[in-house]
Amino acid sequence: MRYFIELSYRGTAYHGWQTQANGVSVQITLEAALTQRLGKPIYIMGSGRTDAGVHAKQQFAHFDVEEPLNLTEAFIYSINCILPEDIAIHAIFPVQPNDHARFSANSRYYQYHVTRQKNAFQSSLTYHFRPHLDIERMNAACAILLQHTNFQSFSKARANVTHFHCRLDFAYWQHTNADCLTFHIKANRFLWGMVRTIVGTMLEIGQGRMSLEQFEQIILARDRTIAGRAAPANGLYLVDVGYPAEVLAQRQKE
């Protein structure tokens, strides 16, 4: 049987989502907790890979077991007790055998948080960036971004993908208060490093160090070396992963 997990995590202490040799990942931590609770090796597949230091308010993963699980509130509570405090499971629910956490997803929504004021309690959760930013120019850049589908210029150079096309649903900047800005972006898929590189480039625009015409030329060039540097990981959040209603049908019943 196949089950989906809905979870969230603070990515500060992890070397990203995916299991890797050089550090502790969210995936391996979650697999260890499930293996301990179920008494057999459990391997999971996430909806996507977040980089080291990136957070997720909503992430999905799937795993397979031979026997049905007794999905009580106490069962989920027991796994959360095994997990560290910076990873939380919100739901576990059955899906069809061919439903896939990564390939069944039809959208991802990210936010990036920037603050002009240093906050001792938020240093790993927002990007402290002091220069004044022109939000109107940055939103004009967003309007240009939405006219395109090829984002090779914002993808890490060694990304192993077959194409660089993404369908953006929205992209915009918003003041959350006097000192904080949030970038919102949603698409059917994202390239490796794409959101952080877009943010880093738009910060150049917001400071008046890059024109809107230059920004569009960067997109058209399809060359990562001419885009701005990537913004730090600590301000980035995976906020929502979208699936067809039938995939999440059992989630509503749990």
CB-based contacts of 20: which residues, under 8 Å, 6+ apart? none
Annotated catalytic residue 86: no
Q: Supply the pLDDT for residue 174.
A: 96
pLDDT band at 213 (very low <50, low <70, confident <90, very high): very high
Q: What pLDDT, in 10s, does the model give residues 124-144?
A: 999 999 999 999 999 999 999
Q: Which residue ranges make up the annotated binding site?
A: 110
Q: Which residue ranges make up the annotated binding site for substrate?
A: 110
Q: What pLDDT, in 10s, does the model give residues 64-95?
A: 999 999 999 999 999 999 999 999 999 999 99
pLDDT band at 177 (very low <50, low <70, confident <90, very high): confident
- In percent, how much of the chain has pLDDT > 70? 97
pLDDT band at 162 (very low <50, low <70, confident <90, very high): confident
Residue tagged 């938020």 (tokens)? 122
All domains of the chain in start order, with CATH: 2-104 (3.30.70.580), 107-239 (3.30.70.660)
Specify the pTM: 0.94
| Set 51, 169, 223, 240: catalytic member | 51
**Contact 103/58 with Cβ under 8 angstroms?**
no
